[in-house]
Structure formats: structure tokens, C-alpha cells
Amino acid sequence: MGSINSYREKIVYLDNNATTRVAPEALEAMLPFLREKYGNPSSMHSFGGDLDIELDRARRRIASLLGCQPQEIVFTSCGSESDNFAIRGLVDAYPEKRHIITTTVEHPAIKNQIPYLKKRGLRVTEIAVDGKGNIDLNRIEEAIEEDTLLISCMYANNETGVIFPVREIGELARRRGVLFHSDAVQALGKLPIDLNDLPIDLLSFSGHKIHAPKGIGGLFIRRGIKIRPLIIGGHQERSRRGGTENLPYIAALGRAAELAAENINEEKSRVAYLRDKLEVGILSAIESTEVNGTTEPRLPNTTNIGIHFIEGEALLLAMDKYNIAASTGSACASGSLQPSHVLRAMGVPFTSIHGSVRFSLSIYNTEEEIDYVLQVLPEIVEKLRRLSPFHSLEDVKAFGV
């Protein structure tokens, strides 16, 4: 890398869809409950019992970000728990309904529940997406059956940032008497969400994607929806989730939600500007690259770029040497590197599916960081391509793959 001479000591963190840095304000908000105010909000004595007010404060802050009632929020340990709670809680509450509709591009917290549901005798229809990652509403409508309990469709995809037509899906669900759950883990804080106005019955979210710590999340459950708890225990969370409330993390989540509401316009304008600069810069400086998924509507912070004729993992390791953190979205399953199920579902071509990289930004990223990435990336890719056995489609065909 002869000409790259601006190595940075400080990490350029472009993996915010994986997790985010904890906002200093969120950290401050949790500390009193780890130090002096360590009581149990369910206690009879005021040292603990008075902390109920703090739980309410956090709940109100989240409800205000989501446009719902505070009592409609149940705190959980993470987005995955919220997704499990939504699906299993409804399946248990409506045993006569035996069919669920979802999509092929859901997060594993939904997708990996399917074998369990089938084992319990439920039928599950997974709606395919097109090459741009979009879903066809007609196909959802056609899939609805007499005993369909639920449509579960994510708000926005974690790998591509593609936003789904949740309003239209919700309206369809209402019309047909089916419940609608949306995994909004990636949408919260990045898009305005107004549940007052949106026909969504249950909505999952997670703290560590919005600058709160890992280990806290929540599920919005619209008033009147019948659901069974996933965690059976005490009467916390109005008997919807047992377990002593994680007040420090709940307080941090509340504060992070408040910050997210303040920063949502910056997310839409400055973060989107930086994402676009990165994307356009890569597409114009590096040959044989393209954006995976539709660019509109899409989360303002995410771009997933297919870089043909390289291995994404090799690129991540090379970028790591330059202190740039991004992600491929692929999972290392039983020793073999499997391309992402989302990109496979979209039919991304063989020559770029292995070389697809997701960059996801946050309000903490700067233009200088983007300039740095644009400076070093073309050279890194060129070097990797020199090592690759494939340089064109003809090479790929010649290898018989």
C-alpha cells in the first residue's frame, strides 16, 4: 500500500447496524442506578419503590419517540427477545390460529423461530423479495388464509437498509383481520415512527442500536392485543414479562430515545449526506461495484456495496489494518463462509455476493473519516483483486462455478 500514508490511530467505526457506541448522556443516565439508587422498583419501602417513577420516566421517553402510550411498552433484554416474545406470545394466546406469514429476509431472531413453529404444527409462509430487496404486497395478500394469525415483516432490513411498506402491510392486515408485527430494531432512531398513525400491532426495538447499552430492548404491544408472556415470573411489566427490571439500562434506553428524537433530522440529512458521499465515492473510484438493494426508500445510514471479484472477509481484514470497521453480513457457519441469506434471497450474483460489504454510519461519524475511507479503499481493493483468481465473468465461467 505504498501510497497510503494517512493511517489513523482512531477507529473509523462504520458498523453501526451491528452495534453503536453508548452515548455519554445515556451512560450518565444509568450511573445513579448502579451506584446509590440500587433499590428494587417493586419493593414496599421507598428506597426501592420510589424508583417506579424512573421506570415511568424512561417508558414515557420511549413512548414519545414511538408515538404510543407508555403502558404499551414492555421492556425486554434485547431485540431478539422482543421478536421471540411477539411471535411465541401470540401463538400461545391464539392457539386456534395455525398460520404465520413472514419474509425471506428477516433477522435470525425471526427466521430461526420458523423450525420451532413448524415443529409445533404451525404453517409458515415466507414471502420472497425481488432483486432489489422489495416485497410485493399482492403476494402477502395472496398468502393470507382463514386461520392466519400474524404477518411479521421487518420495518427496515439490517443488511441493505431497504425499508418495507409497513403502512400498507398494516392496512392489509387490518382489512383481513390479521395481526401485524414489525421488527423495527434498525428503524428506531433512524426514521420517524408514529404508532398513533401506523397500523402496527406489535413492534420490536433494541437499545444498543440507538446508543444505549447492549442487553436492553422493548416490545410495543398495542392496547387490547392479547399476548402470553415469554418469561414467566413476577408481576413486573403488568405481568407481561417476569424479572426484576434492569433499571440502569432502562434509564439509559430512555435517555437514548430522547437523544434519538432530537437527532432524527441530523440522521436524515448529515448522516445521509455522508453515506451518499461514501457510496458515490466507492462506485466512482472502484470498477465493478454496485449497490445491493433499492436505494429508495432506504435507511439514511446504510449502504451495502457489492465489490465483484474479491472476498468480503479479506476486505474486512485488510480494512481492519487501516482501523476501519465494517461488516459483510455473512455468518461463519460450521467452518464454511456462507453468503448472507438476505443477499441470497435477493439473487445477488455469485461474483459479488462474496464481496459485499455493509457500511453503516451514525451521528458520531465525520466527513474526515469518510474521506479517509475513500482514500484507502480503492488501493486495498486493487491489491486484493490482484490476488483473486477471478477478474471477469469469463474467468468465473472458465472455473466452471
Contact between 65 and 193 (Cβ < 8 Å): yes
**Is residue 189 at the binding interface for ligand PLP, with CB under 6 A as the rule?**
no
Q: How far is the CB of 189 from ligand PLP (least distance, A)?
A: 13
**Residues contacting 338, CB < 8 A, separation 6+:** 330, 331, 332
**Is residue 217 at the binding interface for ligand PLP, with CB under 6 A as the rule?**
yes
**Is residue 109 at the binding interface for ligand PLP, with CB under 6 A as the rule?**
yes
What are the phi and psi torsion angles at 17 (to 5°)?
-80, -15
**Is residue 161 at the binding interface for ligand PLP, with CB under 6 A as the rule?**
no
CA distance 17 to 20: 7
**Is residue 200 at the binding interface for ligand PLP, with CB under 6 A as the rule?**
no
**Is residue 183 at the binding interface for ligand PLP, with CB under 6 A as the rule?**
yes
> Which residues on adjacent β-strands are paired with residue 338?
331
Q: How far is the CB of 193 from ligand PLP (least distance, A)?
A: 14
Query: 72 to 101, contacts with ligand PLP by CB under 6 A?
Result: 78-80, 83
Q: Which residues of 133-145 are buried (b: 16+ CB within 10 A; e: fewer)?
A: bbbeeeebeebbe
Residue 349 C-alpha cell reads as 450474483
**What is the secondary structure of 212-260 as a DSSP string?**
S-SS-EEEEE-TT-----SS-SSSHHHHTS-S---HHHHHHHHHHHHHH
| CA-based nearest residue to 152, from 204, 95, 97, 227 | 204
Cell 454496485, residue? 290
Instruction: Please pick, from the candidates 186, 303, 328, 362, the single residue that binds ligand PLP as defined by CB under 6 A.
Output: 186
Instruction: Please pick, from the candidates 88, 107, 190, 385, the single residue that binds ligand PLP as defined by CB under 6 A.
Output: 107
Q: How far is the CB of 157 from ligand PLP (least distance, A)?
A: 7
**Is residue 201 at the binding interface for ligand PLP, with CB under 6 A as the rule?**
no
332 labelled catalytic = yes
Q: Which is nearer to ligand PLP, 73 or 377 (CB)?
A: 73
**Which residue lies nearest ligand PLP, judged by its C-beta?**
79
**Is residue 303 at the binding interface for ligand PLP, with CB under 6 A as the rule?**
no
Query: 355 to 394, contacts with ligand PLP by CB under 6 A?
Result: none
The one catalytic residue among 68, 78, 153, 332: 332
Residue 168 C-alpha cell reads as 400498507
Cell 424508583, residue? 51
Q: How far is the CB of 125 from ligand PLP (least distance, A)?
A: 20
CA distance 314 to 218: 36
Interaxial angle between packed helices 272-285 and 367-387, expressed in degrees from 0 to 180 and rounded to the nearest 10: 30
Instruction: Please pick, from the candidates 182, 206, 356, 362, the single residue that binds ligand PLP as defined by CB under 6 A.
Output: 206
Stretch that binds ligand PLP, among 2-10, 97-105, 181-189, 256-264 (CB under 6 A): 181-189
Q: How many residues in the shown chain lie near ligand PLP by CB under 6 A? A: 14
Q: How far is the CB of 212 from ligand PLP (least distance, A)?
A: 10
**What is the secondary structure of 367-398 as a DSSP string?**
HHHHHHHHHHHHHHHHHHHHH-S-SSHHHHHH
**What is the secondary structure of 35-57 as a DSSP string?**
TT----TT-SSHHHHTTHHHHHH
Q: Which is nearer to ligand PLP, 186 or 294 (CB)?
A: 186
**Is residue 289 at the binding interface for ligand PLP, with CB under 6 A as the rule?**
no
| Residues that bind ligand PLP in the complex, under the rule CB under 6 A | 78-80, 83, 107, 109, 154, 158, 183, 185-186, 206, 208, 217
Q: Active-site residue numbers?
A: 332
